């Protein structure tokens, strides 16, 4: 019920396109999605997984299943951790699902992170099981595959499982599983060391205040995202979130000892440590942004620390369970119906999150023109460049909502996009080394020179979004127009295209990584068959 109430119109026909959440009818499986692109592999393995799955389930339905399934999975997992008391389970679900972290990350489109959040309670339960029974089973591999669709998500999933379940017997097997689940982005990231670097803009992406609510206080209730545009209005008022913080704090104090007795010392300690790590990373990104920026620019994988509030997902399991225990303890002193009503407290303090943040999260339909252009372009010759060469759009057909340019994903070829980001009037440098070269090519004086320069960069086609004119980020390029519609023009460059050569060792390394990743799915299937097969066996009938 909470999942449907939270998503509302987002579950209707069309595609929910909001900031970084870009789903298309049929995402082509490109080599860039495997980790072979020139930019850092931030969408590895999530884009490749979607590209495979939407060959079986249509992209629109797949997105709805992901959105609804993530919230339901997270809520049921929180209830399972909270024990058997009805009041505890209801409170755990509402605290876990109806939280600023979930709402803000859905709004900004970080769906792999939401999936990671959804499986964390289940990884806690699997960790407890592994301490007694080190067998892998069929559930754990699936949880790791779902929870490791991005680098940040994979690290948080790994930290949760290791913190709760690591023992002398279970650790080697757990590490092997975790390496397999994270192999695509780990290997691709290592291969890109020295070529692409994270931006140093730590101050932009760190934990932030929400309205008049100070950042450290906002983080206590899992808020504090850097983008103020995706913060519900109720979070910008000091009174409501401050009272919610006090209520959650009081219930947490009341519930800590009962929780520790029920879960045991090891599990309780693990949850506390995970909460401390998540909160500490968030606070560091707020208190020392220059340090975080230096780490992002200097150290491989240092960029994973920039968006500090992402790590608040680690705080979610402990918060839900300890608050639920506190509500149960309080329930013994008041009528049960009032204890059950405590589950509505998170909704009361953030009512504007309901129904897709007041109808903000609404699906849209792609222009018919785009499907025609896709069929005429095919897989192209060389990479695709989309003009204007900017990262975000605000198309009228998407209800004037901001979204990462969906056109490159809608079409088939590999593409190069401008990953520079404008935040509060400041341009944040991107991470793809080809972006400055493309900007230089577009600045050349003639259309022919621009085409030659782009061809030398491996670009063979240009798609121009006619509805988004941006001075300085587009210029005519010589070539053959293969499609011209009301809002879109596609041109093939009549030049020699220097295709990017991928070193053979990259193919070998990534083949090994993806083999391990797919092998983990095979382990899940094999273990499921091994468990189910005996139950399916037909027994001979007597007589």
Strand partners, 416: 385
User: Are 329 and 393 in the same domain?
Assistant: no
What token pair was written down for 260?
């520790």
Mean pLDDT, range 398-410, rounded to an integer: 95
CA-nearest of 80, 87, 75, 119 to 262 is: 80
Global pTM?
A: 0.94
Using alpha carbons only, give the angle 35, 39, 43 rounded to the nearest 5 degrees. Answer: 55
User: Are 337 and 420 in the same domain?
Assistant: no
Q: What was the pLDDT predicted at 194?
A: 67
How many domains does the chain divide into?
A: 2
3-state percent helix, strand, coil for the chain, nearest multiple of 5: 60, 10, 30
Mean pLDDT, range 118-138, rounded to an integer: 94
CA distance 235 to 230: 10
The residue that leads in pLDDT, 85 or 471, is 85
Read off the pLDDT of residues 15-44 as tens digits, 9 standing for 90 and up: 999 999 999 999 999 999 999 988 888 889
User: Are 339 and 414 in the same domain?
Assistant: no
Q: What was the pLDDT predicted at 70?
A: 98
What token pair was written down for 483?
């499609």
CA distance 267 to 19: 37
Find the range with the poorest average confidence among 27-31, 416-420, 467-471. Answer: 467-471
Please indicate, yes or no, if residue 193 is contained in any of the structural domains: yes
Q: What was the pLDDT predicted at 539?
A: 55
Q: What was the pLDDT predicted at 320?
A: 97
Read off the pLDDT of residues 319-346 as tens digits, 9 standing for 90 and up: 999 999 998 887 666 556 666 777 888 9
Q: What was the pLDDT predicted at 84?
A: 86
Return mean pLDDT, the chain: 91
Please indicate, yes or no, if residue 300 is contained in any of the structural domains: yes
Mean pLDDT, range 42-50, rounded to an integer: 94
SS3 384: strand
User: Are 327 and 417 in the same domain?
Assistant: no
Q: Express as a percent the part of the chain with pLDDT over 70.
A: 93
Read off the pLDDT of residues 510-537 as tens digits, 9 standing for 90 and up: 999 999 999 999 998 888 888 877 766 6
Q: Which of 329, 357, 385 is the last residue of a domain?
A: 357
Read off the pLDDT of residues 190-235 as tens digits, 9 standing for 90 and up: 998 766 555 556 568 899 999 889 999 999 999 999 999 999 999 9
Q: Which of 302, 337, 357 is the last residue of a domain?
A: 357
Mean pLDDT, range 401-410, rounded to an integer: 95
Please indicate, yes or no, if residue 274 is contained in any of the structural domains: yes
User: Are 181 and 322 in the same domain?
Assistant: yes
CA-nearest of 512, 487, 520, 500 to 454 is: 500
Q: Which of 298, 328, 357 is the last residue of a domain?
A: 357
Instruction: Please give the helix or strand (H or E) that residue 465 lies within, else none.
Output: strand 459-465
Read off the pLDDT of residues 352-397 as tens digits, 9 standing for 90 and up: 999 999 999 999 999 999 999 999 887 777 899 999 998 899 999 9
Alpha carbon distances (Å) from 112 to 42, 146, 154: 11, 8, 10
As to burial, measured by CB atoms within 10 angstroms (0-12 exposed, 13-18 middle, 19+ buried), residue 267 is buried
Please indicate, yes or no, if residue 54 is contained in any of the structural domains: yes
CA-nearest of 330, 342, 434, 322 to 384 is: 434
User: Are 382 and 265 in the same domain?
Assistant: no
User: Are 46 and 139 in the same domain?
Assistant: yes
User: Are 276 and 164 in the same domain?
Assistant: yes
Q: What was the pLDDT predicted at 468?
A: 79
Mean pLDDT, range 244-248, rounded to an integer: 92
Mean pLDDT, range 472-495, rounded to an integer: 90
Residues of the domain holding 219 = 2-357
């Amino acid at each position: 019920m909470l999942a449907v109430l939270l998503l509302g119109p987002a579950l209707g026909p069309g595609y929910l396109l909001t900031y970084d959440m870009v789903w298309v009818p049929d995402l082509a499986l490109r080599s860039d999605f495997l980790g072979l692109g020139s930019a850092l592999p931030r969408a590895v393995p999530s884009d490749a997984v979607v590209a495979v799955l939407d060959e079986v389930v249509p992209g629109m339905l797949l997105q709805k299943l992901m959105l609804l399934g993530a919230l339901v999975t997270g809520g049921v997992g929180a209830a399972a951790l909270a024990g058997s008391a009805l009041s505890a389970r209801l409170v755990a679900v509402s605290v876990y699902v109806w939280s600023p972290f979930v709402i803000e990350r859905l709004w900004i489109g970080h769906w792999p992170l939401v999936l990671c959040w959804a499986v964390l309670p289940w990884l806690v339960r699997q960790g407890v099981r592994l301490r007694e029974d080190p067998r892998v089973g069929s559930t754990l591999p699936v949880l790791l595959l779902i929870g490791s669709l991005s680098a940040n998500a994979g690290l948080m999933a790994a930290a949760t499982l290791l913190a709760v379940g690591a023992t002398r017997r279970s650790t080697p097997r757990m590490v092997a599983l975790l390496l397999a689940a994270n192999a695509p982005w780990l290997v691709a990231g290592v291969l890109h060391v020295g070529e692409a670097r994270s931006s140093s803009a730590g101050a932009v992406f760190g934990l932030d205040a929400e309205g008049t609510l100070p950042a450290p206080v906002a983080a206590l209730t899992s808020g504090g995202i850097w983008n103020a545009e995706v913060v519900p209005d109720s979070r910008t008022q000091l009174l409501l979130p401050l009272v919610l913080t006090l209520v959650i704090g009081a219930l947490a104090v009341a519930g800590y000892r009962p929780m520790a007795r029920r879960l045991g010392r090891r599990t309780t300690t693990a949850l506390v440590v995970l909460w401390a790590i998540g909160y500490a990373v968030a606070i560091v990104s707020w208190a020392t942004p220059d340090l975080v920026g230096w780490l992002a620019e200097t150290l491989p994988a240092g960029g994973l620390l920039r968006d500090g509030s992402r790590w608040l997902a680690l705080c979610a399991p402990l918060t839900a369970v300890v608050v639920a225990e506190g509500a149960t303890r309080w329930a013994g002193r008041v009528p049960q119906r009032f204890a059950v009503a405590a589950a509505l407290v998170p909704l009361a303090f953030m009512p504007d999150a309901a129904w897709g943040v007041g109808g903000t999260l609404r699906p849209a339909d792609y222009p018919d023109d785009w499907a025609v252009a896709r069929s005429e372009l095919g897989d192209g010759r060389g990479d695709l460049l989309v003009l204007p060469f900017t990262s975000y759009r605000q198309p009228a057909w998407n209800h004037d909502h901001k979204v990462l340019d969906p056109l490159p994903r809608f079409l088939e070829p590999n593409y190069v996009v401008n990953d520079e980001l404008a935040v509060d009037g400041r341009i944040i440098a991107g991470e793809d080394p080809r972006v400055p070269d493309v900007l230089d090519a577009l600045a050349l004086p003639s259309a022919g020179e621009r085409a030659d320069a782009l061809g030398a960069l491996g670009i063979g086609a240009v798609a121009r979004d006619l509805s988004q004119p941006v001075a300085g980020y587009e210029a005519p390029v010589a070539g053959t127009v293969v499609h011209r519609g009301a809002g879109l023009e596609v041109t093939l460059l009549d030049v020699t295209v220097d295709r990017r050569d991928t070193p053979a060792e990259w193919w070998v390394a990534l083949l090994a990584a993806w083999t391990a990743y797919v092998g983990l799915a095979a382990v899940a299937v094999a273990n499921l068959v091994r468990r189910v097969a005996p139950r399916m066996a037909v027994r001979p009938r007597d007589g």
